[in-house]
Chain A
Amino acid sequence: MAETQTQVSALDAVVKIRYLDDTNAVFSEQDGFLSLKTTQPNEEGADEEQTYERVFLHSAFPFDMPYSYISVLDKDQKEIGMIRELSALSEATQKILRGELGRKYYAPRIKKILSVKERYGFSYWRVDLENASDFSFTVQDTYRSMLKVDHEHVFIVDVDGNRFEIPSVEALDRASYKKIELYL
């Protein structure tokens, strides 16, 4: 009997998504590193505490809903559980998690495109970023390196995998827009 019980809960772990919230998880942060303490009923039904020294966050729908359905992963990148809604958590936890997500998903925004030159399958970009002016990077296979979230929101991925965000191509100035129109 006990064995089948274990089997069922083992299967549960495979089939069901475990959701974390304030009742069963406590997040804390130290120097930008996130750690987690969870409680979970074990096989006998008693609460069992588990501590993870280091956890990572990964958003399931990073563009559609960046603050919902966030996967919490352990150091082996195995999922511990998911956070359904960030805003449902306590203010303090929210602040910690938002900070971590912000670090994870940070991509510099492009304010202005100075020039795009296409040469032999590569394109060479000069842009003004929010944190740097006249910044240059190189993109291979430009069309496919434009990560189009929707018809406005675009990420440009350069040869090194760096992402540069354009939250709204429509909001760019005319001259900048004309330079990337071809790739949209």
Chain B
Amino acid sequence: MLQIDRMPDQLLSQLETRGITSDSILLCAKTDISPEHIYCDNWLIATKDDLIVVSGVKTLLPKNMTPAQRFLHPERLQCDFTEIGYQYYPIRTVSDLKVENLISDARLTARQKENEEDTGSFVLLSYLSGSAKNSAGLFVKYFNQIKEKGEVTPDDEDFNREIFCPKCGRRYPDPNRKICPHCMDKGKIIKRMGGFFLKYKASILTIFIIMVLSSILSVITPYFSNGFFYDQILSSTGAFFGNILLVLIIIIGTRIIGIIFSMITGTISAKITANVVYDLKKTIFSSIERLSLSFFTGRQTGGLMTQVNSDATSIYWFFVDGLQSFVINVMTIIVIVILMFVMNPLLAFLSLITLPLFVWGIKLIFAKLDKLHAKRYSSRRSMNAQLSDVLTGVRVVKAFSKEKAEISRFHAKSERVAYDDRSLSTFETWAFPSVDMLLYIGNIMVWAVGGWMCVKGDLTYGTLLTFVTYMNMVYGPMYFFVDMVNWGADCLNAVNRLLEIMDAVPEVVERADPIPLEQCEGRVTFRDVEFSYVKNRKVIDGVSFDIEAGHVIGIVGHTGAGKSTLANLLIRLYDVNKGEILIDGINVRDLSFADIRKNIAIVSQETYLFMGTILDNIRYARPDATYEEVLEASKIAGAHDFIMKLPDAYATQIGFGYRDLSGGERQRVSIARAILRNPKILILDEATAAMDTQTERQIQGALERLTKNRTTIMIAHRLSTLRSADKLIVIENGKMPEFGTHNELLAKKGIYYKLYKLQADALKNVGIEA
């Protein structure tokens, strides 16, 4: 029995009372929603002859187990299965099992018919949530196997996807990277981070030694400026009575040494950390470039940019600023506290008694501050978003004379920012002094008791002064310590996010020993290609075609039909799920990325031009191209004339902050880029869509000469673009219902015919005969 989900024993015994033995069950899986949209367990069970759906409610017997425990100790679980529904179908009558996606849920449907003549009816087998889609999909797959062959042969690949952490049973946030944030070993992260610092062992050791020295220094300074000064120099009984110069020299000397120490550590650590951050950024950027396209479509690029930049920066500050002060402060405080207890245990006790309260107070303040800061951040962000939104869309605002409305909208947002600013500063002004009161209370107690001791002669005045100074030295860094906890957590998160990028595995992997493709002819074959970006949602479904070398192929279809996906698959930005794609008879999986991209150039609907000159942008495809080749390519692409109208011609800077080219101009520049590449296979993905028809014709005329001896794949929804195609592929809903020449397809009176009529009629309406 293949259990896609583990069936409870209770259910098995219930089934046996209905005459279904566990041996006869071939396949079972679980879905999770009832038709009334209540969560329940629907067991899909298939035997050789029957399809059964048992719905029920599972009651867990040990009630007080956490989900994690349940996952870890399934043997402890006993459940009572209360049946609430039972559907039975003879397997020969059901066919076409299908997981139909709804907006959030899905449903598993089938067609039931008694015999061949019967038109049949649809049956709803079960509703299911997104979490059960995988199970349901697999059930459909293996159910079809049973129908065909009467048995199941499990495919290992379907079951090796671990999506739960084996330690705690929580789901991995990213199934490609098996790291559970809950069980994440923080020590391990720090260790990996430490790896980046390892190069600088010697410098780090130096820093550490100097830090120890400087904390010793900061501990003895108060002794000289207070205890020693009053007891040994000012008091007539002191050993160095009257020798003020001595103490001045000592005080100034220690100060200077201290400053020098901190300068040295500062310099060294800034250098190390900057280098480490540089290494980090470099590693991360190269990891990013290595990743497949799906990684980027899976998350926001803006987010990625922040990740690399701000995370590296926050790591930098943590190590430069945070960690150093932390180490110094901890060492200093330990030494001071010990000294205080040695000097006078009672006073030490008194002065530290308010410390826990003090720390607790600071913690409260910081928690509240965090909230206020977050609030202010979000209101600021929303104000800024609105501002940039309105300023970019100022043409629309003016066109609809919405200035007043926008002003009042902005007022509202800006008022909220002002309010948040106010409450933040108000809070800060009273919160900190209140906590500091605790410190004063401690201070006063020490003065009172210490003063009394002085009077009694148990304590010298100098010792008391030293004591008070020490006490303040203990309290002072507490703010920092509390903040340090947050700071450390932030840094850890940053490191973790960066490691996430570094550990991400590219989905499209180049073969280790690719087959070289020296003389590419340009034959392209798609064989039963299936592809989906998201599971269970096929974008390309069983597409097969052959393009002979040097032919021009047009791909037609509605928007979103999957036309561009075909191009993405050919240049292997994604891998097919099923079937294969061949170039010159070689599977693209066996070719090197370099060979694929050397021989295929793509001009896509989204043209991206980099910052730099137009010349740089055109030469991006082939940096060794001569100036004359650039001119020729631009001329063919119809870009030369508009470029020469610019004052600096090809040396014109474009990109962020500089001259912006229009959509059509950008497309022409990117066509020039592709032409310069001189590829064997040229893909034009709506490459001329942003141009007027006349310019398009002109460029097409030019391209036609270019497309000789070159396989060209043109993707367009404007049929006039495809006039020159030898053959046309019609794509609809990921399938390829029609393939042939223009005339063949017209004769077929199918989808292409309809599209053609539609566009021709549209032209007729405005008085043009197509």
| B645–A77 CB distance below 8 A | yes
What's the Cα separation between A14 and B650 when bound, in Å?
19
Is there contact, CB below 8 Å, between A62 and B648? yes
Contacts known (A63-B651, A68-B627); A14 close to B702, Cβ less than 8 A: yes
Q: Tell me whether A16 and B635 are in contact (CB under 8 A).
A: yes
Nearest Cβ on chain B to A106's Cβ, whole angstroms: 13
**B117-125, B342-350, B636-644: which lies at the A interface?**
B636-644
Q: Is the Cβ of B628 less than 8 Å from the Cβ of A64? A: no
From 208 to 245 in chain B, residues with beta carbon under 8 angstroms from any chain A beta carbon are none
CB-CB contacts of A77-106 with B at 8 A, as 1s and 0s?
111001010000000000000000000000
Among B644, B657, B702, point to the contact of A79 (Cβ < 8 A). Answer: B644
Q: Which of A53-61, A124-132, A167-175 is the contact stretch?
A: A53-61
Contacts of B627 in A (CB 8 A): 60-61, 64-65, 68-69
Give CA–CA (A11, B705) in the complex, Å.
Answer: 10
The A interface, classified by DSSP as helix, strand, loop or mixed, is mixed
Q: Please give the distance in Å from B170's CB to the nearest CB on chain A.
A: 49
Inter-chain contact B649/A17, CB cutoff 8 Å: no
> With A and B bound together, what is the CA distance between A17 and B637 in angstroms?
12
Interface residue? A38 (CB, 8 A): no
Interface flag for B466 (CB, 8 Å) = no
Point out the residues of chain A lying under 8 angstroms from B640, CB to CB. 17, 79
Cα of A90 to Cα of B694 in the assembled complex, Å: 40
A11 to B700 CA separation, bound complex (whole angstroms): 11
User: B336 within 8 Å of A by Cβ?
Assistant: no
Contact of A82 among B631, B648, B651 (CB under 8 A): B631
Within the complex, the shortest CB–CB distance from B230 to chain A, in Å, comes to 52
Give the total of B residues in contact with A, Cβ under 8 Å. 24
Once the chains are docked, how many angstroms separate the CA of A65 from the CA of B643?
16
**With A and B bound together, what is the CA distance between A144 and B657 in angstroms?**
7
A: number of interface residues (CB 8 Å) = 25
Tell me the minimal C-beta distance from B706 to chain A in angstroms: 8
Partner pick for A61 among B632, B649, B653, CB 8 A cutoff: B649
Q: What is the number of contacts between chain A and chain B, taking CB atoms within 8 Å?
A: 61
Q: Which of chain B's residues 622-675 have a Cβ closer than 8 Å to chain A?
A: 627-628, 631-632, 635-636, 638, 640-641, 643-645, 648-651, 653, 657-658
Q: Is the CB of A147 within 8 A of B653?
A: yes
Given the interface contacts A17-B631, A17-B632, does A149 sit within 8 Å of B698 by beta carbon? no
- Contact mask for chain A residues 11-45; partner B; CB cutoff 8 A; 1 contact, 0 none: 10011110000000000000000000000000000
Question: Any chain B CB within 8 A of the CB of A71?
Answer: yes
- State the CA gap A48–B105 with chains docked (Å): 75
B residues in contact with A15, CB < 8 Å: 635-636, 701-702, 705
Q: How far is the CA of A84 from the CA of B701 in the complex (A)?
A: 26
Residues in B with CB closer than 8 Å to A14 are 635, 638, 698, 701-702
Q: Are A149 and B657 in contact (CB under 8 A)?
A: no
- Knowing A14-B698, A14-B701, A69-B627, the reply to whether A64 touches B651 (Cβ < 8 A) is yes
Q: Which residues of A contact B698 (CB under 8 A)?
A: 14
Given A17-B632, A79-B641, A144-B657, A62:B651 Cβ within 8 A: yes
- What DSSP secondary structure best describes chain B's contact surface? helix
User: B649–A62 contact, CB under 8 A?
Assistant: yes
Cα-based distance from A66 to B627 in the complex (angstroms): 12
* Chain B residues with CB below 8 A from A11, complex form: 701-702, 705
**Residue from B643, B644, B705 whose CB has the most chain A CB atoms within 10 Å:** B644
Contacts of B653 in A (CB 8 A): 147
- In the complex, the answer to whether A149 meets B651 with C-beta atoms within 8 Å is yes
* A residues less than 8 Å from B701 (CB atoms): 11, 14-15
Q: Are B644 and A60 neighbours in the complex by a CB distance under 8 Å? A: yes
Q: How far apart sit A147 and B653, CA to CA, in the bound complex (Å)? A: 8
Q: Which residue of B lies closest to A68 (CB)?
A: B627
What's the minimum C-beta distance from B16 to chain A, rounded to whole angstroms? 80
Tell me, in angstroms, the Cα distance from A68 to B631 when the chains sit together: 12
Which of A16, A59, A77 interacts with B649 by CB under 8 Å?
Answer: A59
Q: Is the CB of A61 within 8 A of B651?
A: yes
> In the complex, A153→B702 CA distance in Å?
37
Complex Cα spacing A64 to B702, Å: 28
CB distance from A184 to the nearest CB of B (A): 15
8 Å CB contacts to A: which residues of B95-125? none
The chain A residue sitting closest to B651, CB to CB, is: A63
Q: A63 → chain B, closest Cβ, in Å?
A: 5
Q: Contacts A58-B649, A60-B649, A63-B651 given: A17-B702 contact, CB under 8 Å?
A: no
Q: Which residues of B contact A60 (CB under 8 A)?
A: 627, 631, 643-644, 649-650
The answer to whether B615 has its CB under 8 Å from any CB of chain A is: yes
A59 contact set on B, CB distance < 8 A: 649
Please, which residues of chain B bring their CB within 8 A of the CB of A64?
615, 627, 651
Q: Is the CB of B705 within 8 A of A61?
A: no
- Chain A's nearest CB lies how many Å from the CB of B391? 15
Minimal Cβ-Cβ distance residue in A for B704: A11
Contacts of B628 in A (CB 8 A): 69, 84
Q: With both chains docked as a complex, state the minimum distance between the C-beta of B761 and any C-beta of chain A, in angstroms.
A: 29
Interface centre among B632, B648, B701, B702 (most CB of A within 10 A): B648
Bound Cα distance A58, B648 (Å):
9
User: CB within 8 A of B658: which of A17, A79, A144?
Assistant: A144
CB neighbours of A78 from chain B (8 A): 641
Residues of chain A in range 130-147 having any CB-CB distance to chain B below 8 Å? 144, 147
Q: Are A61 and B644 in contact (CB under 8 A)?
A: no
Q: How far is the CA of A175 from the CA of B650 in the complex (A)?
A: 34
Q: 8 Å CB contacts to A: which residues of B596-639?
A: 615, 627-628, 631-632, 635-636, 638
**Given the complex, which residues of A lie within 8 Å of B638, measured CB to CB?**
14
Looking at the assembled complex, report how far the CB atom of A35 sits from the nearest CB atom of chain B, in whole angstroms.
Answer: 20
**Minimal beta-carbon separation of B657 from chain A (angstroms):** 5
Distance (Å) between the CB of A118 and the closest chain B CB?
18
Interchain CA distance A18-B460 in the complex, whole Å = 102
From known contacts A69-B628, A82-B631, infer whether A58 and B644 are also in contact, taking CB-CB under 8 Å: yes
Q: By the criterion CB–CB under 8 Å, are A61 and B650 in contact?
A: yes
| Residue numbers in A under 8 Å from B631 (CB-CB) | 17, 60, 69, 82
**Closest chain B residue to A19, Cβ basis:** B628
B615:A61 contact, CB within 8 angstroms = yes
Q: Which residue of A lies closest to B703 (CB)?
A: A15
Shortest Cβ distance from A146 into chain B, in angstroms? 10
Residue of B nearest to A161 (CB): B647
Which residues 29-54 of B sit at the A interface, judged by CB distance below 8 A? none
Task: Name the A residues within 8 Å of B643 (CB-CB).
Answer: 60
Chain B residue numbers with a CB within 8 Å of A84 are 628
In Å, the complex CA distance between A77 and B642 comes to 11
Once bound together, how far apart are the Cα atoms of A73 and B640, in whole Å? 13
> With a CB–CB cut-off of 8 A, which chain A residues contact B649?
58-62, 71
Interface positions, chain B 693-744, Cβ under 8 Å from A, are: 698, 701-702, 705
Q: Which residue of B lies closest to A12 (CB)?
A: B705
Minimum CB distance partner of B636 in chain A: A15
How far is A60 from B631 in the complex, measured between Cα atoms in Å?
9
Q: Please measure, in the bound complex, the distance between the C-alpha atom of A64 and the C-alpha atom of B648, giving whole angstroms.
A: 11
B644: chain A residues at CB < 8 Å are: 58, 60, 71, 73, 79
Q: With A and B bound together, what is the CA distance between A38 and B338 in angstroms?
A: 99
Enumerate 13 A-B pairs (CB-CB under 8 Å) in ascending A order.
A15-B702, A17-B635, A58-B644, A59-B649, A60-B650, A61-B649, A63-B648, A68-B627, A69-B628, A69-B631, A77-B645, A78-B641, A147-B653
The 3 closest A-B pairs by CB, nearest first: A15-B702, A60-B649, A71-B644
Besides A15-B701, A59-B649, A64-B651, 19 other CB < 8 A contacts?
A: A14-B701, A15-B705, A16-B635, A17-B631, A17-B632, A17-B635, A17-B640, A58-B649, A60-B650, A61-B649, A62-B651, A63-B648, A63-B651, A65-B627, A144-B657, A144-B658, A147-B648, A147-B653, A149-B651
Q: Chain A: residues with CB nearer than 8 A to chain B? A: 11, 14-17, 58-65, 68-69, 71, 73, 77-79, 82, 84, 144, 147, 149
